[in-house]
Amino acid sequence: MSAASLSDHIPDLNLITYYAEKQQSCFSCLSPWTKFAYLILIILLVTLSGNLAVLSVLYLVLLLVYAAAHLPVRKLLGWYTMPAVFVLSLVGLMAWSEPGNPVISFAVAGFPLVLTDKGILLIITLLLKALIVVTFSLFFLMTTRYMHFSAMIYRIFPSPLDQIFLMAYRFLFLTLAMTASILKAVRSRGGGLIHSVRVQGRMFAEVFALVFIRSFERSERVHKAMIARGFSGSYGTATTIPALRLTEYLLIFVGAAVVLAVALVIPSYGG
Amino acid sequence: MTIIRTDPLSSPHCRHLDKERELIHVDCASHVYPDGSVGIHDMCFYVQKNEIVALCGPNGSGKSTLIEHLNGLLTPSEGNIAVNGRSITKGEITDLWREVGVVFQQSDDQLFAPTVLDDVMFGPLNMGMSREAALNAATGALEAVGAADLVQKLPNYLSGGQKRLISIAGILAMKPRIIALDEPTSDLDPVHSGMIEGLILELKQRFGISVVIATHDLDLAARIADRVCLVRKGSVFAEGTPDEIFYDEELLQETGLKPPQIVRVYRAYCRMQGILVDQHPISIEGMMAAIHGK
């Protein structure tokens, strides 16, 4: 598949899968279970600790690991756009009501709005937390072969969630390819994503309606093809996931100990 | 075999050619879609053991609808379909997919699993095979289609030809008695078309599987089919051997098809030489022999 990326700000599934299948870094040799365990530990850590210093160190370490795995660091900056926008749109409102020393204050329609140092700290902390999880998730996806990843999903999630995921992943590729080809057709005639949304809003609505309708039709055809092979409601994967080695058990143990220590010892704020 | 023109009005039931060899018998089946459009109408069709049947007709003639009936994806609104003498309409057979495998026109619609191996194992597992037996069946099928090296690939990264091979392997792994392929060589380059063509012949010769192909590629039909059925307006209205059918200009015109390249070349040669078209070659070798014989 040679579908072009939809946007520099949306994680490119094709590129992610390319890196995952290339298996060129030492992290690819790790069992997917080890990386999954670390993902859980990292989520636990960012949930339990709000210490800025801890989060900053963790983020820097993850960036180094990401770079050491020969993954595209520049792309990462673009891919941060969506989580950053998501966090800012949520925290942007909450930050104004945080108590602390005022940094910026002004009035809107008679109501005073004050942004305090704690408010700014909250924005930075939550942004860091989001970027940490996004960075490690991307690292996990880009160093784990998809066949192993899907087998993990099959074993972890209960039915029908596992079925939905297994089917959705492949379908996502097809829908993205379809969207990319439609956008290519738009661009080939002078349209552009931002330009066209502004100027040709109606046309874009039609494009996305077309993607929806085509996806719907395709899902009907896929379902038909599954029924033709006796599909009765569930299917599994045949892949065996590489087992954990002794050193990996140790690695997880050390990670868990660090998370526990950080969560218990270091206070949340004021780092 | 002589050309048989089917006239549904002349007899209430379709005839049986050879009951002993018959695997599928479609008896005056009709299908009307929910929107009122007629998919097939008084369709008479049969498939015999160890033969390749080509369903030829223009777009919208009912070929794909017939193929979906053969697998049980659709059931006829009227008429009957019997497999090995057991009727679908009467509910004597409900799991037709075990007997008749369908390879769809768009391989992307068929390959939905995360990996090639998962996809090929899907059918055998649904048949109730153990994981190990399904793995063996899948590996064997992939080897048979010459795609054993693709076993751990993701379907997204396969070429169109490879996807088509995997689609066929997914059906072959279920060891059906009949495989129906909808436009098997559409959108493929000549090399992959040739591979698929060779594979279809192999399905019949090596595995003893009867094959039904729905196509408007008459060149393909001329090269590999034992029997050609011309489909028009939802019915098979003529059938015969490829040489009989493809040298009958009037019949092809009625169906809205053009003769295969080899027929056109041979006719042109005869016209240029001022000789009668008294032979009906449908392969390059046959045409060369016919030319040298003159």
What tens digit of pLDDT does each residue of A67-108 get? 999 999 989 989 999 899 999 998 887 888 788 888 888 887
Residue A240's pLDDT is what?
84
Q: Which residue of A has its CA nearest to B72?
A: A228
More confident: B167 or A179:
B167
Q: Report the pLDDT value the prediction gives residue A270, as an integer from 0 to 100.
A: 47
Query: What average pLDDT does this structure show over A131-155?
Result: 91
* Chain B interface, Cβ < 8 Å to A: 68, 71, 73, 95, 97-98, 101-102, 104, 106, 108-115, 117-118, 121-123, 125-127, 131, 134-135, 138, 152, 154-157, 170-171, 174
A215 touches chain B (CB under 8 A): no
DSSP string, B214-257: EES-HHHHHHH-SEEEEEETTEEEEEE-HHHHHT-HHHHHHHT-
| Cα–Cα distance for residue pair B238/B162, rounded to 1 Å | 34
CB contact under 8 Å between A226 and B112, yes or no, is yes
Torsion angle, alpha carbons of A230, B233, A219, A155, to 10: 10
Sheet (strand B38-48) strand order: B38-48, B22-32, B78-83, B86-87
Q: Which two tokens stand for residue B133?
A: 């037996």
Consecutive 10-residue averages of pLDDT for chain B (294 residues): 56 63 88 88 91 93 92 88 82 82 89 87 90 93 94 87 94 94 91 93 94 93 94 90 92 90 93 88 90 78
Q: Residues near A181 by Cβ (< 8 Å), separated by ≥ 6? A: A3
Cβ within 8 Å, pair B157-A1: yes
- The answer on pLDDT for A149 being more than 60 is yes
Non-local CB neighbours of A82 within 8 Å, separated by 6+ positions: A9, A10
Task: Check pLDDT > 50 for residue A182.
Answer: yes
CA distance A146 to chain B (A): 7
Q: How far is B255 from chain A (nearest CA, A)?
A: 28
A chain contacts of residue B154, beta-carbon cutoff 8 Å = 17, 21, 146-147
pLDDT given for residue A262 in this prediction: 87
Closest-CA residue of B relative to A224 is: B73
Closest to B178 (Cα-Cα) out of B125, B119, B99, B253: B99
- pLDDT tops 80 at residue A183: no
**Yes or no, beta carbons of A150 and B115 under 8 Å apart:** yes
Residue A213, number of CB atoms within 10 A of its CB: 10
Question: Looking at residue B120, what is its pLDDT?
Answer: 93
Residue with the two structure tokens 């569930």? A234
- Scanning A20-59 for CB atoms below 8 A from B yields 21
Closest-CA distance of chain A to residue B14, Å:
26
Nearest CA in chain B to A2: B157
Instruction: Show residues of chain B in contact with A170, CB under 8 Å.
Output: 111-114, 155-156
- Of A11-20, A180-189, B217-226, the poorest mean pLDDT is in A180-189
What residue of B is the nearest CA neighbor of A13? B156
The proportion of chain A whose per-residue pLDDT surpasses 70, expressed as a percent, equals 89
Cβ contact, residue pair B114, A166, below 8 Å = yes
The average confidence (pLDDT) of chain A is 84
CB contact under 8 A, A228 and B101: yes
Read off the pLDDT of residues B81-126 as tens digits, 9 standing for 90 and up: 888 888 887 777 778 888 999 999 988 888 888 889 988 999 998 8
Chain A residues in contact with B97 (beta carbon < 8 A)? 227-230
Residue A204 at interface with chain B, using a CB cutoff of 8 Å: no
Q: Do B156 and A173 lie within an 8 Å CB cutoff?
A: yes
- Checking if the pLDDT of A190 tops 70, the result is no
Two structure tokens written together for B232: 């028009």
Locate the chain B residue with the closest alpha carbon to A229: B123
| Contact (CB<8Å) A238/B126 | no
Reported as a pLDDT band with limits 50, 70 and 90, residue A1 is very low
Task: Check residue A57 and give its pLDDT.
Answer: 94
Using the beta-carbon criterion (under 8 Å), do A236 and B102 form an inter-chain contact? no
Domains of chain B and CATH, by start? 7-241 (3.40.50.300)
State the pairing for strand pair B22-32/B78-83.
Answer: antiparallel
- Can you read off the two tokens belonging to residue B227? 């029997």
pLDDT score, position A271: 44
Indicate yes or no: CB of B115 within 8 angstroms of CB of A227: no
> When comparing pLDDT for A161 and B223, which is higher?
B223
| pLDDT tops 50 at residue A2 | no
pLDDT at A192 over 70: no
Instruction: Please give the C-alpha separations between residue B242 and each of B25, B70, B236, B246, in angstroms, as whole numbers.
Output: 21, 22, 15, 6
Q: Do A225 and B112 touch (CB under 8 A)?
A: yes
Of residues B114, B154, B174, nearest to A21 (C-beta): B154
B242 burial class (0-12, 13-18, 19+ CB within 10 angstroms)?
buried
pLDDT value of residue A95: 82
* Closest Cβ–Cβ partner in B101, B111, B135 for A238: B135
Looking at residue A131, its pLDDT comes to 95
Chain A hits for B131, CB-CB cut-off 8 Å, are 238
CB distance from A146 to chain B under 8 Å? yes
Task: Take residue B79 and report the two structure tokens written for it.
Answer: 């008429």
Contact A169 B114 (CB under 8 A): yes
Length of chain A counted residue by residue? 271
Q: Residue B69: closest CA among chain A residues belongs to which residue?
A: A228
Element (H, E) at A182: helix A161-187
Q: What is the pLDDT of residue B172?
A: 95
For position A96, what pLDDT does the model report?
A: 80
The residue of chain B nearest to residue A237, with distances taken between CA atoms, is B118
